[in-house]
Amino acid sequence: MKNKILKLSRDNIQNLTPYQSARSIGGTDGSILLNANESPLPVAFKLKKKIFNRYPECQPYNLILLYSDYINLSCEQILVTRGADEGIELLIKAFCQPRRDAIIYCPPTYDMYRVSAQIADIHIKTIPTIKNTWQLDLPNIQCNLIGVKLIYICNPNNPTGNLILQNDLISLLKMTVGQCLVVIDEAYIEFTPTNTMTNYLSKYSNLVILRTLSKAFALAGIRCGFTLSHPEIINTLKKVISPYPISIPVADIAIQALKTKNIQLMRNRVLSLNNNRTWLIEKLQHIPCVEKVFVSHANYILVKFFMFKKIFDTLWKKGIILRNQNEKNNLNKCIRISIGTHLENILLIKELKIFSEENMF
Ligand X SMILES: *Cc1c(COP(=O)(O)O)cnc(C)c1O
Taking the complex as a whole, the smallest distance from the CB of residue 255 to ligand X amounts, in Å, to 17
Taking the complex as a whole, the smallest distance from the CB of residue 154 to ligand X amounts, in Å, to 5
For Cα atoms 173, 179, 184, give the angle at the middle one, nearest 5 degrees. 40
Rounded distance between C-alpha atoms, residue 351 and residue 257, angstroms: 35
Taking the complex as a whole, the smallest distance from the CB of residue 88 to ligand X amounts, in Å, to 7
Taking the complex as a whole, the smallest distance from the CB of residue 213 to ligand X amounts, in Å, to 7
Measure CA 203 to chain center: 25
Taking the complex as a whole, the smallest distance from the CB of residue 23 to ligand X amounts, in Å, to 11
Specify the residue, 40 or 225, whose C-beta has the smaller distance to ligand X: 225
Specify the residue, 162 or 214, whose C-beta has the smaller distance to ligand X: 214
Specify the residue, 283 or 323, whose C-beta has the smaller distance to ligand X: 323
Rounded distance between C-alpha atoms, residue 184 and residue 215, angstroms: 16
- Nearest residue to ligand X by CB is 83
Cα distances (Å, whole numbers) of residue 8 to 12, 54, 118, 120: 11, 37, 17, 16
Bridge partners (DSSP) of residue 301 are 337
Specify the residue, 84 or 250, whose C-beta has the smaller distance to ligand X: 84
* Cβ partners under 8 Å of residue 35, min gap 6: 22, 25, 27, 321, 322, 323, 336, 338
Taking the complex as a whole, the smallest distance from the CB of residue 302 to ligand X amounts, in Å, to 13
Taking the complex as a whole, the smallest distance from the CB of residue 219 to ligand X amounts, in Å, to 9
Residue 139: cis peptide before it, omega within 30 degrees of 0: no
Specify the residue, 105 or 110, whose C-beta has the smaller distance to ligand X: 110
Specify the residue, 64 or 289, whose C-beta has the smaller distance to ligand X: 64
For residue 349, give the 3-state DSSP assignment. helix
Specify the residue, 294 or 355, whose C-beta has the smaller distance to ligand X: 294
Specify the residue, 289 or 331, whose C-beta has the smaller distance to ligand X: 331
Measure CA 118 to chain center: 18
**Residues in the site for ligand X, rule: CB under 6 A?**
37, 83-85, 110, 154, 158, 185, 187, 212, 214, 220, 225
Taking the complex as a whole, the smallest distance from the CB of residue 187 to ligand X amounts, in Å, to 4
Bridge partners (DSSP) of residue 132 are none
Torsions phi, psi for 176 (to 5 deg): -115, 5
- Please name the amino acid found at residue 90: L
Measure CA 166 to chain center: 19
Strand order, beta sheet including 123-126: 78-81, 225-229, 207-212, 181-185, 148-154, 102-105, 123-126
Taking the complex as a whole, the smallest distance from the CB of residue 48 to ligand X amounts, in Å, to 22
Specify the residue, 85 or 252, whose C-beta has the smaller distance to ligand X: 85
Residue 108: cis peptide before it, omega within 30 degrees of 0: yes
Rounded distance between C-alpha atoms, residue 206 and residue 182, angstroms: 6
